[in-house]
Amino acid sequence: MTTAAPPVEPASPAGRHKKGETAPLSEGARAERRLGLMLCAPAVIVMAAVTLYPVGYAIYLSLERYDLRFPNASKFVGFANYGTVLSSPIWWQAFLVTFIITIASVAVEFVLGMALAFVMHRAIVGRGLVRTFILIPYGIVTVVAAYGWKYAWTPDTGYLANLLPSGNAPLTHHVSGLAVIILAEIWKTTPFMALLLLAGMALVPEELLRAARVDGATAWQRFTKIMLPLMKPAILVALLFRTLDAFRVFDNIYVLTSGANNTRSVSILGYDNLFTALNLGVGSAVSILLFITVAILAFLFIKIFGAAAPGQEVD
Amino acid sequence: MFAAAAAAAVPVLAACGSSGGGSGRTATLNWYMFPDGSGSFATAAANCSKASNGAYTIKINVLPNDADTQRQQMVRRLAAKDSSLDILGLDVTWEAEFSEAGWILPFTGARRTAVENGTLPAAIKAAVWRNQLVAAPLNTNTQLLWYRKDLVPEPPTTWSQMVADATRLAKEGKPHYIEVQGAEYEGYTVLFNTLVASAGGSILNASSTSAQLGEPAVKAIQAIQQLAQSPAADPSWSNQHEDDNRLAFESGNAAFELNYPFIYPSALQNNPSLAKKIGWTQYPSLVAGQPSHVTIGGNDLAVSAYSKHPNQAFDAITCLRGSANQTTYAIKGGLPPTLTALYTDPALIKGGYPFAGAIYTALQNGVARPQTPAYQSVSLQISYNLSPPTSVSVGKLNTLKSRINDALNSKGLVP
């Protein structure tokens, strides 16, 4: 998709010269391309229907005063809803909380995930068993796991809360509540990170590592100078996926604290404004701002990792 | 689109012939109702279906446990003009919102008179929006002051007295906490509403167009501060819901509790020896010599605007809130009735409602929550801006006022 497609129509000689190296397509190649486009079309149409339309509708709603409770007062308000959101301390609080959760959970997951990937990669006995065990948390439904954590950290019902001095209810305070949310996120998605990193690790040629060893490279040098650079595409994918996921965190918070004590993420804020306050205009503005933030994050990742990004030509 | 147009047309047609029940076809009415462990709703639905002689069959669709998700489920369906909803079980805080959005049909003419006859005026008032009766009161609820007769021989009548009594008990080393809702949720809004009303004011102006607050709100804040700064405040006050208060009172550390009557049957079951010492009286007042004005809760029944069988649904509601059924809900399910006559009915009083008289008095002086379609947002702003109760100050009222005005105009983010 990302390789630029030359125009299908036979280009004029002048145009062809401007394009430089692009050679004119043969009759057969053109027919093949047409077939390819036709084969893609149904999927593209379905994708457009289920993603483009809702995204477009959300953008439209975010420019309206649209509140289900006051259907007669609906009108176009331009960017007023965005002004409301961006000037509200509640939004910035939620943004900060989301940022903290993202940075903390992705950083810890990366380190732990790398360690687990090593374990899975190097396991000599019971490799299948080891991999299965490591993947169990990822296989549990997030909401189910979140309820497990919730009860565990609630005094009287939970074994973890009972380890704390009595009278401590970690889910009812800002800092400890956030810590529990981050812990639940890490527990849940480290296996996913490990799996993606394992895929990258499998691509590192064993001979290269042995050769470096013969040349006297230490284990740390072999890791930083050989493995990490070769794993760069896998690391990018793993960090990108997890950062975008973590930034949209919803279910763990919804179950654990439902956003009380300033633990609400941007997604929870959007949900509250859309489904509890029924204010589709302001709620959609929150959603669109979340969408833009995620797009910027993805863009930055690709920029920072440059050529290692998937789909980029590596010369 | 066609279905929506058809559904919208039906109520108009049906309204023309209100006696057209003899079509011979049994209508299935979907009743969306909150869960009820006692099974009294199911019994009532079966009895009413049978009594209708084939006019309708009521099918109960159980909603989720908590009020927020109940509302969300109905709102999502109604916003999509779902015609499979007929009878809706509404919390008293949703009437204005559902009516303003055009999701429920008003009770008019003879139907309105029939609902109003013999029903508590305060419960009717909560079901009226823009001079229309938009729902029929099913059950009501209100708070009383529950106290320990062994610790407090003469119950206090004012808030200051209550705090003073508790402070004295604290000095004597006896159980002394005052159990009251203080977590950041709607129950805390209810406390604020009760205090403001008891101080002679209201949160919104008469036309629900802007925040009123003023001097009574200052008094309400001072009452909260007075409790917060005394030894009578439970250390976990800022995290307590109704049920936390019940548990704390049952554990024996408290002398007072401001709560709904459900705590009494619960105490009888969990701590019978303590239950014998529980006394009840009116909620303490803020102005000496004046009664308190306690927030009225409860649930109503309404007919969906997209129902295909609105006539049968109205008839079914009449049956479901009938005297016999309300007695069952009260005795089996603990829901205080909305029919005035039942409060002097010996069957109810002996059946587990010895405090029926006190509740009746409280309901007579009761006050509705702020009536506005934006109630949810207003409530979120109140509980957010005045939390935690331990650090509340009069200075926060200005911010609160502008946030409430934003909420009324659906401006601003809700927390």
Q: Would you state the pLDDT for residue A166? A: 66
CB contact under 8 A, A260 and B184: yes
* Largest Cα span, chain A: 83
Minimum distance, in Å, between the CA of residue B315 and any CA atom of chain A: 27
Which has the closest alpha carbon to B282: B233, B343, B355?
Answer: B355
- Of chain A residues 112-151, which have a CB less than 8 A from chain B? none
Q: To 10 degrees, what angle do helices A228-247 and A89-122 make?
A: 140
**B142 close to B337: Cβ distance less than 8 angstroms:** no
Q: Which residues of B touch A279 (CB under 8 A)?
A: 377, 410, 414
If pLDDT is split at 50, 70 and 90, which confidence band does A275 have?
confident
Interface residue B130 vs chain A (CB under 8 A):
no
CB contact under 8 A, A69 and B102: no
- What interface predicted TM-score (ipTM) does this complex get? 0.72
Which has the closest alpha carbon to B95: B139, B120, B125?
Answer: B125
Alpha-carbon distance of B147 to B267, in angstroms, equals 13
- Of chain B residues 357-396, which have a CB less than 8 A from chain A? 373-374, 376-377, 380
DSSP B21: -
CB contact under 8 A, B373 and A272: no
Judged against a pLDDT cut of 90, whether residue A195 lies above it is answered with yes
* DSSP codes joined into one string, A118-144: HHHHH--SSHHHHHHHHHHHHHS-HHH
Alpha-carbon distance of B182 to B241, in angstroms, equals 7
* DSSP codes joined into one string, A250-311: -HHHHHHTTTTTTT--HHHHHHIIIIIS-BHHHHHHHHHHHHHHHHHHHHHHHHHHGGGSTT
Minimum distance, in Å, between the CA of residue B88 and any CA atom of chain A: 17
Report which of residues A115 and A310 the model is more confident about.
A115
Q: Would you state the pLDDT for residue B24? A: 59
Q: How many CB atoms lie within 10 A of CB B210?
A: 13
Q: List all residues 6 or more positions away from B113 whose beta carbon is below 8 Å from its beta carbon.
A: none
Q: Would you state the pLDDT for residue A304? A: 80
Report which of residues B185 and A198 the model is more confident about.
A198
CB contact under 8 A, B239 and A269: no
**A188 close to A145: Cβ distance less than 8 angstroms:** yes
CB contact under 8 A, A71 and B102: yes
Q: List all residues 6 or more positions away from B283 whose beta carbon is below 8 Å from its beta carbon.
A: B143, B144, B145, B194, B198, B258, B292, B294, B362
Q: Would you state the pLDDT for residue A167? A: 62
Q: For residue B41, give both structure tokens.
A: 């709703």
Minimum distance, in Å, between the CA of residue A287 and any CA atom of chain B: 13
Count Cβ atoms within 10 A of the Cβ of residue B276 and give its class: 0-12 exposed, 13-18 middle, 19 or more buried.
exposed
Alpha-carbon distance of B81 to B8, in angstroms, equals 9
Judged against a pLDDT cut of 60, whether residue A308 lies above it is answered with no
Alpha-carbon distance of A45 to A34, in angstroms, equals 16
Interface residue B410 vs chain A (CB under 8 A):
yes
Candidate from A160-164, A196-200, A216-220, B84-88 with smallest mean pLDDT: A160-164
Q: List all residues 6 or more positions away from A224 whose beta carbon is below 8 Å from its beta carbon.
A: none
Kindly calculate the radius of gyration of chain B based on its CA atoms and give it in whole angstroms: 22
Q: Would you state the pLDDT for residue B22? A: 44
Alpha-carbon distance of B18 to B15, in angstroms, equals 6
**A81 close to A287: Cβ distance less than 8 angstroms:** no
- Of chain A residues 254-273, which have a CB less than 8 A from chain B? 260-261, 264, 269, 272-273
CB contact under 8 A, B410 and A172: no
Fold (CATH) for B2-140+296-364: D-Maltodextrin-Binding Protein; domain 2 (3.40.190)
Interface residue A245 vs chain B (CB under 8 A):
no
**B290 close to B219: Cβ distance less than 8 angstroms:** no
Kindly calculate the radius of gyration of chain A based on its CA atoms and give it in whole angstroms: 25
Judged against a pLDDT cut of 70, whether residue A289 lies above it is answered with yes
- Of chain B residues 184-203, which have a CB less than 8 A from chain A? 184
Partner residues linked to B141 by β-bridges:
B297
CB contact under 8 A, A275 and B184: no
Domain boundaries, chain B: 2-140+296-364, 144-294+374-408
Minimum distance, in Å, between the CA of residue B210 and any CA atom of chain A: 16
Strands B254-259 and B144-148, by their bridges, are antiparallel
Task: Give the residue carrying structure tokens 């006394």.
Answer: B279
Residue from B76, B240, B410 whose CB has the most chain A CBs within 10 Å, to mutate: B410
Question: Tell me, what amino acid is at A24?
Answer: P
- State the virtual CA torsion across B266, B272, B274, B279 in degrees, nearest 10: 70
CB contact under 8 A, B75 and A68: yes
Alpha-carbon distance of B197 to A16, in angstroms, equals 82
Count Cβ atoms within 10 A of the Cβ of residue B67 and give its class: 0-12 exposed, 13-18 middle, 19 or more buried.
middle
* Largest Cα span, chain B: 73
- CA-to-CA separations, A213 to A201, A203, B58, in angstroms, rounded: 17, 18, 79
Q: Which residues of A touch B97 (CB under 8 A)?
A: 69, 278
Minimum distance, in Å, between the CA of residue B378 and any CA atom of chain A: 10
Pick A172's closest partner by Cβ from B239, B380, B415. Answer: B239
Tell me how many residue pairs between chain A and chain B have CB atoms under 8 A apart: 65
Chain centroid to Cα A171, Å, comes to: 25
Fold (CATH) for B144-294+374-408: D-Maltodextrin-Binding Protein; domain 2 (3.40.190)
Candidate from A33-47, A170-184, B15-29 with smallest mean pLDDT: B15-29
Instruction: Return the percentage of chain A with pLDDT > 70, whole number.
Output: 88
Interface residue A70 vs chain B (CB under 8 A):
yes
Compute the mean pLDDT over every residue in chain A, rounded to the nearest whole number: 85
Q: Would you state the pLDDT for residue B51? A: 94
**Would you give per-residue pLDDT tens digits along chain B (415 residues)?**
344 444 443 343 333 333 344 445 789 999 999 988 778 899 999 999 999 999 999 999 999 887 888 998 999 999 889 999 999 999 999 999 999 999 999 999 999 999 999 999 989 988 999 999 999 999 999 999 999 999 999 999 999 999 999 999 999 999 999 999 998 888 999 999 999 999 999 999 998 899 999 999 999 999 999 999 999 998 878 878 888 899 889 988 899 999 998 888 888 888 999 999 999 999 999 998 999 999 999 999 999 999 999 999 999 999 999 999 998 888 887 789 999 999 988 888 887 788 888 999 999 999 999 999 889 889 989 998 998 898 899 999 999 999 999 889 878 788 7
Q: A179-215: buried (b, 16+ CB within 10 Å) or exposed (e) per residue?
A: ebbbbbbbbbbbbbbbbbbbebbeebeeeebeebeee
Q: Would you state the pLDDT for residue B236? A: 79
CB contact under 8 A, B413 and A91: yes
Q: For residue A241, give both structure tokens.
A: 């996926």
**Does the fold of domain B144-294+374-408 match that of domain B2-140+296-364?**
yes
CB contact under 8 A, A264 and B415: yes
Q: List all residues 6 or more positions away from B299 whose beta carbon is below 8 Å from its beta carbon.
A: B34, B89, B90, B91, B92, B138, B139, B335
CB contact under 8 A, A276 and B412: no
Alpha-carbon distance of B369 to B116, in angstroms, equals 20
Alpha-carbon distance of B376 to A277, in angstroms, equals 6
Pick A71's closest partner by Cβ from B101, B235, B377. Answer: B101
Report which of residues A72 and B145 the model is more confident about.
B145
Contacts of A215-219 with C-beta under 8 Å, sequence gap 24+, read none
**B368 close to B296: Cβ distance less than 8 angstroms:** yes
Q: Which residues of A touch B235 (CB under 8 A)?
A: 167
Minimum distance, in Å, between the CA of residue B230 and any CA atom of chain A: 20
pLDDT tens per residue, range A233-259: 899 889 999 999 999 999 999 988 888
Q: Which residues of A touch B403 (CB under 8 A)?
A: none
CB contact under 8 A, A70 and B75: no
* DSSP codes joined into one string, B270-291: H-HHHHTTEEEEPPPBSSTTSP
**B249 close to B118: Cβ distance less than 8 angstroms:** no
Minimum distance, in Å, between the CA of residue B98 and any CA atom of chain A: 7
Among chain B residues, CA nearest to A67: B410
Interface residue B170 vs chain A (CB under 8 A):
no
Q: How many CB atoms lie within 10 A of CB B262?
A: 16
pLDDT tens per residue, range A123-148: 888 888 988 899 999 999 999 999 99
Alpha-carbon distance of A147 to B111, in angstroms, equals 46
Interface residue A279 vs chain B (CB under 8 A):
yes
Question: Tell me, what amino acid is at B208?
Answer: S
Q: How many CB atoms lie within 10 A of CB A96?
A: 12
Cis peptide before A205 (omega within 30 of 0): no
Interface residue B414 vs chain A (CB under 8 A):
yes
| Residues comprising chain A, all counted | 315
Question: Tell me, what amino acid is at B348?
Answer: L
Q: Which residues of A touch B184 (CB under 8 A)?
A: 260-261
Which has the closest alpha carbon to A149: A73, A254, A69?
Answer: A254
Q: Would you state the pLDDT for residue B414? A: 80
If pLDDT is split at 50, 70 and 90, which confidence band does A156 have?
low
CB contact under 8 A, A69 and B184: no
Question: Tell me, what amino acid is at A175?
Answer: V
Task: Give the residue carrying structure tokens 């408290």.
Answer: B254
Minimum distance, in Å, between the CA of residue B410 and any CA atom of chain A: 7
Alpha-carbon distance of B408 to B100, in angstroms, equals 13
If pLDDT is split at 50, 70 and 90, which confidence band does A171 have?
confident
CB contact under 8 A, A277 and B97: no
Pick B410's closest partner by Cβ from A67, A272, A275. Answer: A67
Interface residue A198 vs chain B (CB under 8 A):
no
Q: Would you state the pLDDT for residue A14? A: 44
Question: Tell me, what amino acid is at A208?
Answer: L
Pick A69's closest partner by Cβ from B76, B374, B411. Answer: B374
Q: Would you state the pLDDT for residue A309? A: 54
Q: For residue A114, give both structure tokens.
A: 């790398």
